[in-house]
Each structure stands twice: as C-alpha cells, then as structure tokens.
Structure 1
C-alpha cells in the first residue's frame, strides 16, 4: 500500500489516460460508423477502427501537441523568467546554472543519480535527458501523425475519385497544418494561462501554486 501511495499521482493519471483513450476509441468508432452508413459504406469493428489511420492520426496529433508544449516549457524556462510565477525561476537565475547549484560532479550528493557524479558525455546526456525525451516523443508522434494523416487523407481523396498525394505534399498541405496548429494554439494558451494566473491566484496545498499568503511578486515558490 505504501508503494501505491507513493506513486498515487502517476497511477491516477495513468488510469485516467487509459480510460479516456478507450473512451475516445469507442466514441470514434461509433462516429466513424455513422459516417460510413450515411455514405453507403459498411460499419467496422472496434479492432479494425483502433488499427486504422483515422484513429492513429487523431491520437498522434494530440500527443505531439502535448509533448511540444512540455518541450517548449522545459527549454524556455531555462533562459526566460516570469516574475511572480511559481512556474519560473527567480529573475537573475537565467541560464543552465552552476555545477554547485545543480549538484553535479564534485558537488553531487551521496544519493544523487550515478550519471550526475561522472564527467563527460554521460553527464551532458543526463543533464539534458528530460528535454531530449520530450523532444524525441514529440518528433516520433509528429512523424506518426504525418504518416497516418497522409493515409487517412488519401482514403478520403480516393473516395472522392481524386488522386492520392505523397508524404511531402501532405506535410506541406493546409489539411496537415490545420490539424496541427489547432492543437498547438490550445496547448500554448494553457501554458500561458498557468504561468500568468499562478501569479495572482492560489490553490491551497498544490505544488503548482504559491502558498496562499505569498505575495504576488514571489517567484519560484510553491505551496
């Protein structure tokens, strides 16, 4: 039970993610089958739908926008600050910070990760591993979206008796960028709202909020 309690936040979000993904798949299949029947086509099974390009592109385009949000937030907060926001470092601390502040190399502690105590490429890799992981997932999901999106788009074109297009033509098409940018703008607005609203508003007990009594100008503090 202690292990579950110690990991309750990640486990809860994992369950919510799986439930929402299953719900999206079910609702998406029902919607897809409605369209198929209207257009004179045949309904498909749940397994057929979740392995289709239509489902893959919907999932991938959401994932790539989310990981783009995280990647930008992680990287931009290294060099940019927002006075008063708990999501920002204090003004004057811009940059990658010193080895002592980061507790790496000779300043590593006994329980520091092993690669934080070494030098060379392993330290450089581990020092940027979070951004690299987010960037890799973003690029892979972007690629998956482009491939699945091309397949789904070409299916629509063939149904309309139009010629299919290649991958490069698809990723430069209005269809692809309309799907991408409508997700990007919502994610960027969410980050902007979190950064700015957390200056003036509070949520007692949340590490994403400043303490209720903290002044609006307090930066890099959490409740």
Structure 2
C-alpha cells in the first residue's frame, strides 16, 4: 500500500465519521449506558437476593433474565411511543413560535407539489415517492409506521418479559404465578408503563414550548438566535 492509499483511506474514514457523527455518538452512548444498566441492575438484584437468603446471579445469567429484559423493553417502548406520537401529531398540531411546529396554516399532509410526490417527484427523489397506489401511500407514511411498529413490538416484549419477572418475584414470596392476561391488567404493569409515558409526553411538550423563547446557537432544533419569538417552523 502506498502512502497515497493510506492517506486516501484515512480521509474516507475521517469523512465517514464526520458525516455520521450524530448517529455514531448516540449509538455508542446507547451501548455504554446499556452496559451500565446491566451492571447496576445485576448489583441491585443480587442485593435483593442475598437479603432474602438466595444465591446471587452471574452477569450472563442476569443479561439473559426477564428482570433485565423487562427494564430494557420498558424504556424502549416509551421512547418509540414518543417518536410515533410526535411524528403523526406534528402533521396536524401546531405551536405558534416553535421550531418544532410547522408554520401556522400548514396543518395537514400538504400537497403533492409541496411533498414532491407523484408527478412532482424529482430525479433525485426516492423511487417510491413517485410510485402510484399503495406503494406511494406506504412510503409517504413509512417513518411513523415503523416507529409505531417498534413501539408495539417493544410493548409486547415488555408485557411478556414483565410477566416472567413478576412471577419470579411472586414465587420468591411463595405466591402463585399469574398469566399474561392477568399481568397486563395488573397495577404493576400499568405503573411501569404510565410512569414512562408521562415523562415522554412532558419532554415533548417542554421542547415544543421552551424552544419558542430559548435558543441554542447552531442547532437545527432551535430557531436562529435573532429570530423573533413569534417565528414558527423556522430552524437555525
């Protein structure tokens, strides 16, 4: 390999990192916090087990346990619910002065011309943007549908793993197990679910309202620093 080849690869790698830094940094942060949750959750469970006179569990056993799985899926379903509601909600709902909102008067799915779909698709548009029938309809709503699908799958996984974790606790207390239907109608399931939902909804509302009056220079989630508070749908 010549020095020029090495420089070219290094340049391509550097460009890849720069152009994908947002996704990569958050992915690494996700993996780091997931590992931290694994360690902390195992320590917490082992403290409970030792206090009950039971042997502690190893790291691999905890990583594949229902206790760990229910905590992970519980968080995932609430996050994807937030994105699902936000994506579909911002089609029709407006907030004057917020960069998180469309401009006042533009509520709705907008015209084909504005969305560059059908006969208004451009040469560089995705192929399905100009597709007729169900393909165009599906592609034009694919982001929200995928987010909603992940939410439903995560919520189902939470209910299944939560049932197993809940029954393990009941068995340690010498109580009989409950079925899936019994668990998803229980206070434990809805307490876990609603405490996450309320925090996600509050976060979205806070972002939409606080961004009317506050600024973050250089962020596309904020209006330009000098934009008036009444400016709606403007990003910096």
TM-score (norm 1): 0.99
Q: State which of 122, 132, 155 in structure 2 corresponds to 1:109.
A: 122
CA distance in 2, matches of 1:105, 1:116: 6
Residue aligning to 1:177: 190
User: Could you say which structure has the larger radius of gyration?
Assistant: 2
Residue in structure 1 matched with residue 77 of structure 2 by the alignment: 64
CA positional deviation for 1:199 = 0.2
- Aligned ranges 1:114-153 → 2 under 5 Å: 114-153=127-166
CA distance in 2, matches of 1:123, 1:12: 33
Instruction: Check if 1:154 corresponds to 2:167.
Output: yes
SS in 1 for 2:96: coil
- Cα RMSD of the aligned pairs, angstroms, is 0.6
User: Where in structure 2 are the equivalents of 1:1-223 lying within 5 Å?
Assistant: 1-223=14-236
Q: CA deviation at 1:188?
A: 0.6
- Give secondary structure in 2 for the equivalent of 1:87: coil
Structure-2-length-normalised TM-score: 0.93
Moved >6 Å (runs of 4+):
none
Aligned-partner Cα distance in 1 for 2:43–2:174: 25
Unaligned ranges ≥5, structure 1: none
- Aligned twin of 2:4: none
Q: How big is each residue's C-alpha offset from its partner over 1:23-60, in whole Å with a ceiling of 9 and x where there is no partner?
A: 10011111111111111111111110010000000000
Q: Number of residues paired by the alignment?
A: 223
